[in-house]
């Protein structure tokens, strides 16, 4: 059993914290939203009144925050989590943020004698609730070895991606594949509709042919072939288009800095940007097929 501070109890952090409590860990939690805080306290956590109090609670601090600016504000500066955490504490940021911020905050932690890993997740709210997330971890081998058993209580896979920031790099590369492939699969189904090819027939063939991919076989954007996919429930998320847009924009920011050519990633970001600007960001990201269907070639 570990003493764990946990900051950020939203859609993901709330169920993740509950799974740590269920695994027998002693949590001290903080969130700016009182309802989120009270829900975790009702599940058995101690209540911190500041991020620093949560950070000082034990040997480990976990954060699950919206974006890089929140991670900077929680960790850095006087009274921040790095300063408040005990010397030798392990800091684990599970938020999805830009690679540069992850590396800067990791460096600041190291300079203060605190180990830190970036450990963004794949698996969404359903994975957070079922403790079946995949963690992509960036940091030293020693820090990874300490983080792994804690993260394993919230997930089904914990993978070391390399040094600081590499967890975030893995996350945005993976989600760039996902965003592009969902658009590709959606375009294929819309073309099939116009050519008089049945959805199920295209699925049966492409899922056994070279078009096979996760967006097709696990998350099919038309109702029918994959009963559990959001297409069967009006594209209720799941993983929202707004979240996909955030991750695609992070990939494009990283590609720009690294001078990597990612034209399909850029196009996917533009397509999800259009969907979001039309007020559809709260739809599951597979709902992009509806916008593609509405367009005329």
Residues tagged active-site = 171
Mapped onto helix, strand or coil, the DSSP state of residue 42 is helix
Helix axis angle for 99-111 and 166-195, nearest 10°, is 160
Among 6, 20, 28, 31, binds ligand NAD (CB under 6 A): 31
Is 286 one of the binding residues for ligand NAD (CB under 6 A)? Answer: no
Strand partners for 92:
62, 117
Going by C-alpha positions, the residue among 180, 189, 179, 170 that lies closest to residue 242 is: 179
Is 36 one of the binding residues for ligand NAD (CB under 6 A)? Answer: yes
Tokens of 154: 């919230």
Among 51, 58, 106, 155, binds ligand NAD (CB under 6 A): 51
Cβ nearer to ligand NAD, comparing 98 with 206: 98
Which position has the token pair 């533009």?
Answer: 270
82-90, 141-149, 193-201, 239-247 -> range binding ligand NAD (CB under 6 A): 239-247
CA distance 268 to 163: 28
- What DSSP character marks residue 285? G
98-106, 119-127, 182-190, 279-287 -> range binding ligand NAD (CB under 6 A): 119-127
Is 130 one of the binding residues for ligand NAD (CB under 6 A)? Answer: no
Is 72 one of the binding residues for ligand NAD (CB under 6 A)? Answer: no
CA distance 26 to 45: 7
Tokens of 87: 């010397």
Is 54 one of the binding residues for ligand NAD (CB under 6 A)? Answer: no
Is 68 one of the binding residues for ligand NAD (CB under 6 A)? Answer: no
User: 292 φ, ψ to 5°?
Assistant: -65, -40
Q: Which of residues 198-227 bind ligand NAD (CB under 6 A)?
A: none
Tokens of 133: 């997330």
Least gap, CB of 283 to ligand NAD (angstroms): 13
Q: Which residues bind ligand NAD (CB under 6 A)?
A: 7-13, 30-33, 36, 51, 64-66, 70, 73-74, 95-96, 121, 124-125, 239, 243, 246
């Amino acid at each position: 059993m570990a003493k764990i501070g946990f900051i950020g109890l939203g859609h993901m952090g709330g169920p993740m914290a509950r799974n740590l409590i269920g695994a027998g860990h002693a949590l001290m939690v903080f969130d700016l939203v009182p309802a989120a805080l009270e829900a975790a306290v009702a599940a058995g956590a101690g209540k911190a009144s500041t991020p620093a109090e949560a950070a000082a609670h034990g040997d480990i601090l976990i954060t699950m925050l919206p974006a890089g600016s929140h991670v900077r504000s929680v960790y850095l500066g006087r009274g921040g989590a790095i300063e408040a955490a005990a010397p030798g504490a392990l800091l684990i940021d599970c938020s999805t943020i830009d690679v540069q911020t992850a590396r800067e905050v990791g460096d600041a932690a190291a300079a203060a004698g605190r180990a830190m890993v970036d450990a963004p997740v794949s698996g969404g709210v359903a994975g957070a609730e079922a403790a079946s997330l995949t963690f992509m971890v960036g940091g030293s081998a020693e820090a990874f070895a300490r983080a792994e058993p804690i993260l394993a209580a919230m997930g089904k896979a914990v993978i070391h991606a390399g040094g600081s920031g590499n967890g975030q790099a893995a996350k945005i590369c993976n989600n760039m594949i996902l965003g592009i492939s969902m658009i590709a699969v959606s375009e294929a189904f819309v073309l099939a509709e116009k050519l008089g090819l049945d959805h199920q027939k295209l699925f049966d063939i492409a899922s056994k042919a070279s078009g096979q991919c996760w967006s097709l076989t696990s998350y099919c954007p038309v109702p029918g072939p994959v009963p559990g996919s959001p297409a069967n429930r009006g594209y209720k998320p799941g993983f929202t288009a707004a979240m996909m847009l955030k991750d695609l924009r992070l990939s494009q920011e990283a590609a720009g800095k690294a001078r990597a050519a990612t034209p399909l990633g850029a196009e996917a970001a533009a397509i999800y940007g259009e969907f979001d600007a039309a007020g559809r960001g709260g739809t599951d990201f597979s709902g992009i097929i509806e916008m593609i269907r509405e367009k005329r070639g």
